[in-house]
Amino acid sequence: MKKIGFLTSGGDCQSLNATMRGVAKTLYQAYSKDVEIYGILEGYKGLIYGNYRKMKPEDFSGILTEGGTIIGTSRQPFKKMREPDENGLDKVKAMKDNYKKWGLDCLVILGGNGTHKTANLLSEEGCNVVTLPKTIDNDIWGTDITFGFQSAVNIATNAIDCIHTTAASHGRVFIVEVMGHKVGWLTLHAGIAGGADIILIPEIPYDIDSVVKALDKRAKQGKRFSILAVAEGAISKEDAALSKKELKAKRKANIYPSISYQIGEEINKKTGQEVRITVPGHTQRGGEPCPYDRVISSRLGAAAARLIIDEKYGYMVGLKNGETIPVPLSEVAGKLKMVEPDSSIIKEAKGLGICFGD
């Protein structure tokens, strides 16, 4: 009898259920009744404190189109995993003990960057682990795309699309703030797809004067409105030059709710144009997965099940050039896949006339 544990950790996204379904259906096809799946509740928290429920085949029926995660999730920062909890519990030991207590043959972990650091830790500690790349940010190293990304792009793009008509009607500057603290993939793709005039991402620090120059150029061309797609982690050239300590202190004293409000006020002061801010926020994580995500989630899940069947552990399943591949966890953990400022997609976007504030 094979015993497999499922765990979803970190922020949720639209295709977690679809991916678990892909793993489960493939395992049930391969082992029939000779496999048991345990849903570990609320991420690593469940693995630490021993909370789980035994899943049935019917639990994975009808969830292909369901967003969120049926087994819950939580954020457990990797940097605190080696620290005892408030009652002195050794978290890593507790996770290993529960893994052994439940008699698991493999732990399937779905998550983003922090999740993969802890997954690699568990793998190094002797647990059989297979992971799947989940994040709307698309910033996991070793895969061309993560599940959840395209669904979030669709939602962010729709937000920009909806802004177009009101921006054109009132002749205003609109800023749409897109999720992405450290990387700009989501803002970049939604910005291009939504026809944004200016795109600001963390990887390309902006100069507010360059942004104003682009707005003035549009005004002189008779364009009555402009739309900026701004990543929540966008940073000015001035702030990018600061040390981490200096930047932290500056942000702590910041009076603005987010970077978009600061940019909006600076634009208003320099141009006199009316500026409005729209923040889609967590809607980008919600709703049902788009068809593209359903396909890659099903494929990645099936590929993960194949690794389990072949007893090939310590890998993340990635997607490269349209093919599913196993990527060693040791190569994935701790790495971010950033947008390269000199990449072809940036050059092509600039060729379209999009300003990146540099």
Residue 61: count other Cβ atoms within 10 Å of its Cβ: 11
Contact 145, 319 (CB under 8 A): yes
- Retrieve residue 101's tokens: 């207590």
Where do we find the tokens 């008509």? Answer: 165
Torsion of CA 204, 207, 208, 211, to 10 degrees: -70
Half-sphere exposure of 308 (CA within 13 A, CB side): 33
Q: What strands lie across the sheet with 275-278, from one edge to the other?
A: 198-200, 226-231, 173-178, 275-278
Q: Are 304 and 132 in contact (CB under 8 A)?
A: yes
Contacts made by residues 330-333, CB under 8 angstroms, sequence distance 24+ = 330/120, 330/123, 331/141, 331/142, 332/116, 332/120, 332/131, 332/140, 332/141, 332/142, 333/116, 333/117, 333/119, 333/120
State the Cα torsion 211-215-221-224 to the nearest 10°: 150
Of the residues 137, 139, 197, 293, only one is catalytic, namely 137
CB neighbourhood size of 199 (10 A): 29
**Is 239 a residue of the active site?**
no
Provide the sign of the torsion angle of the four alpha carbons 278, 351, 180, 72, taken in this order: positive
Give exposure, 169-182, as e/b (b: 16+ Cβ within 10 Å).
eeebbbbbbbbbee
Contact at 8 Å (CB) between 238 and 209? Answer: no
Of the candidates 166, 170, 164, 173, which has an alpha carbon nearest to the alpha carbon of residue 264?
Answer: 173
Active site positions, annotated: 137
